[in-house]
């Protein structure tokens, strides 16, 4: 299998973090999104959506979307478990994972894609219709990102990890979102000590630098 990724992009980073936690090394190929390499014919022949990360299996099968790739890897390599061991834990982890995506990632991404100069006419990802940036969407994304960060701090005041007592994929997504938020100058406030402490613990994991 081969993972097509971009080192700086948040979603590929989620998959690399996940793979590293599993102790797995997968051949990787970089695809530069700002330059439009993800829209070049060579990559579109692999994934017509033009999105990253993309996992291509040895038989040519293509899987995109970060969590779908992680779920495939979890099925092949169930330990260390990162997605749940029983129906309730699986549902709880999935719930928090989705919250990190919908409440965090979407707002940050909207702020970034509607303000970064490289995406002035490419506010939509991949091969979605070309679209000009909308400053109001960037502003709303920033507001949503700050709200999410405050909610995450409250969650971490009552739980050592995002989905409960142990490290899971929900922590990977949340950590990558906090890092991604720096791109739009959103950071934890001095009062958000639980979030800061959790972030430091996750950042100290060797896999966090994958």
3-state secondary structure 103-172: HHHHHHHHHHHCCCHHHCCECCCCCCCCECCCHHHHHHHHHHHHHHHHHHHHHHHHCCECCECCCCHHHH
pLDDT, tens digit, for every residue of 186-204? 999 999 999 999 999 999 9
Write the CB contacts of 138 (distance below 8 Å, at least 6 apart in sequence).
110, 111, 112, 114, 115, 184
The whole-number average pLDDT for the span 147-161 is: 98
pLDDT band, residue 55 (cuts 50/70/90): very high
pLDDT of res. 110: 96
* Domain regions of the chain by residue span: 2-76, 87-209
pLDDT tens digits, residue range 156-183?
Answer: 999 999 999 999 999 999 999 999 999 9
Sheet containing 2-5: give its strands across.
Answer: 28-30, 2-5, 54-56, 62-64
pLDDT of residue 136: 97
Domain at 2-76, CATH from 3.60.110.10, 2.60.40.420, 3.40.30.10, 3.40.50.880:
3.40.30.10
Q: Is 87-209 in CATH node 3.30.429.10? A: no
The enclosing H or E element of 196 equals helix 193-203
Residues 149 and 186 sit within 8 Å (Cβ to Cβ)? yes
Binned at pLDDT 50, 70 and 90, residue 105 comes out as very high
Picking from 15, 30, 26, the residue whose alpha carbon sits closest to that of residue 58 is 26
Torsion of CA 22, 25, 27, 32, to 10 degrees: 70
Residue from 203, 144, 147 nearest 171 by CA: 203
Burial 119-129 (b: 16+ CB within 10 A, else e): beebbebbeee
Q: Do 170 and 96 form a contact (C-beta atoms < 8 A)?
A: yes
Q: Identify whether the C-beta of residue 62 lies closer than 8 Å to the C-beta of residue 47.
A: yes
């Amino acid at each position: 299998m081969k993972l097509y990724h971009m080192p700086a992009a948040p979603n590929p980073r989620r998959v690399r973090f996940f793979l590293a936690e599993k102790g797995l090394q997968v051949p990787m190929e970089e695809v530069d999104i700002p330059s439009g390499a993800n829209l070049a014919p060579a990559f579109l022949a692999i994934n017509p959506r033009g999105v990253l990360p993309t996992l291509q299996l040895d038989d040519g099968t293509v899987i995109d979307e970060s969590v779908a790739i992680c779920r495939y890897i979890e099925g092949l390599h169930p330990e260390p478990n990162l997605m749940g061991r029983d129906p309730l834990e699986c549902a709880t982890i999935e719930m928090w994972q989705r919250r990190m995506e919908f409440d965090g990632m979407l707002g940050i991404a909207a702020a970034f894609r509607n303000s970064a100069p490289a995406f002035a006419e490419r506010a939509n990802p991949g091969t979605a219709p070309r679209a000009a940036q909308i400053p109001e969407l960037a502003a709303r994304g920033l507001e949503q990102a700050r709200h999410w960060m405050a909610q995450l701090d409250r969650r971490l005041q009552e739980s050592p990890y995002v989905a409960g007592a142990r490290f899971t994929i929900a922590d990977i997504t949340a950590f990558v979102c906090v890092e991604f938020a720096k791109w739009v100058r959103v950071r934890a406030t001095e009062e958000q000590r639980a979030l800061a402490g959790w972030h430091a613990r996750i950042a100290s994991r060797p896999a966090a630098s994958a």
